[in-house]
Amino acid sequence: MPKAEFRMKIYGVRGSYPPTNGFATHFGVNTTCIRFDIGKHLIVFDAGTGIINLGNDLLKEIKNGNSRQNLWKIHLFFTHLHIDHLMGFPYFSMIYIPQTELHLISPRILVYSLKDSLEMLMSPALFPVTMNELPSRKIFHDLAENRVVFFLEDDFQIVHVTDAPSVKNWIGKISCIRNYTHPKGGTYIYKVEFQNNHSVVFATDVEGFVGGDQRIINFARGADILIHDAQYTLREYEMFQGFGHSTYEMACEIAKKAEVKKLLLFHHDPKHDDAELSELEMKAREIFPETYMASENMEFNF
Ligand SMILES: [Zn+2]
Ligand SMILES: [Zn+2]
């Protein structure tokens, strides 16, 4: 791993479920999971099947003696609690290790808390190990639009947005806005900011508006990278309007209006093969030249 203090690595790019017919070799098969390294802090968004490979990487890094970072302390954020964003959790090796301190940070979606949802997922009817039986330490934190997470040199704290200006010496900052376009409770869009003014906005499972969603445009303004849902082609969108996903045209419009530096199209439909995704990438570049299909193992240093 390079020495930069602020890194992002993508472990899962798919929406709905991992493609099952073996055609997706270039962009990847795993569902949502993104890793950030901010100083010594490890931050993860969503526990789709991509988190399984992340667990393997972390064990390797620990074995190889990565002492610069605290890899036992994991800050796991969730955009929402649909199964494609949770399905890797029971297979995330770090949860089975007693040294792991897992901070589970999520806004509430509908009446279900993250704790309720994970307990459901790991209930005896569905999985052989329950949450209570996991040897790792688990600490749940509530997040909302009016709260901000700050990463300091050695620790992190969650404060009310009105107290945010009083937090000094932060090296990383995570804020969110709620988006209501995704069915049954919506989803949370996150912004990860680093002290050197670089930032990434992660907006998956969102559906576009005519003219672009003004709130996302404002939230993402000037970001280095916008990761935006682009599950459907325009033709598919006509069939699945209201399902809470976007087209590349919608994503490009947001990127353009928010004047971000780079757009990563995300939440690829499991039915789209490599050739189709490459074609969509080319078409998207006609609208917003700095557009890339998100792919597994993409890494960025800031
Ligand atoms: Zn999804
Ligand atoms: Zn969803």
| Distance from residue 284's CA to the centre of ligand 1 (Å) | 21
Compute the C-alpha angle 48/136/143, nearest 5°: 60
What pLDDT digit, counting tens, does each position of 233-286 carry? 999 999 999 999 999 999 999 999 999 999 999 999 999 999 999 999 999 999
Provide the token pair at 40: 């010594």
| Distance from residue 82's CA to the centre of ligand 2 (Å) | 5
CA distance 125 to 147: 35
Other Cβ atoms less than 10 A from the Cβ of 98: the count is 10
Share of the chain above pLDDT 90, in %: 90
Per-residue pLDDT averaged across 10-29, rounded?
A: 92
Per-residue pLDDT averaged across 116-132, rounded?
A: 96
The SS3 of residue 114 is helix
CA distance 273 to 208: 23
Domains defined for the chain, CATH in brackets:
6-301 (3.60.15.10)
- Band of residue 107 on the pLDDT scale cut at 50, 70, 90: confident
pLDDT at position 22: 82
The SS3 of residue 163 is helix
Compute the C-alpha angle 221/276/204, nearest 5°: 35
pTM equals 0.96
Residue 2 pLDDT > 60, yes or no? no
Per-residue pLDDT averaged across 162-183, rounded?
A: 95
- Band of residue 3 on the pLDDT scale cut at 50, 70, 90: very low
Q: Return residues with CB closer than 5 A to ligand 1 (ion).
A: 15, 84, 205
| Distance from residue 80's CA to the centre of ligand 2 (Å) | 7
CA distance 248 to 254: 10
CA distance 264 to 220: 13
Other Cβ atoms less than 10 A from the Cβ of 235: the count is 9
Of the listed ligands, the closest to the CA of 46 is 1
The SS3 of residue 256 is helix
Burial group, residue 67, by CB count within 10 angstroms (0-12, 13-18, 19+): exposed
Of the listed ligands, the closest to the CA of 231 is 1
Of the listed ligands, the closest to the CA of 266 is 1
Q: Return residues with CB closer than 5 A to ligand 2 (ion).
A: 82, 205
Residue 60 pLDDT > 80, yes or no? yes
| Distance from residue 267's CA to the centre of ligand 1 (Å) | 7
For helices 274-287 and 248-258, the axis angle rounded to 10 degrees is 40
Q: Which ranges in 26-76 belong to alpha helices (H)? A: 50-63
* CA 55 remoteness from chain centre: 16
What pLDDT digit, counting tens, does each position of 134-172 carry? 999 999 999 999 999 999 999 999 999 999 999 999 999
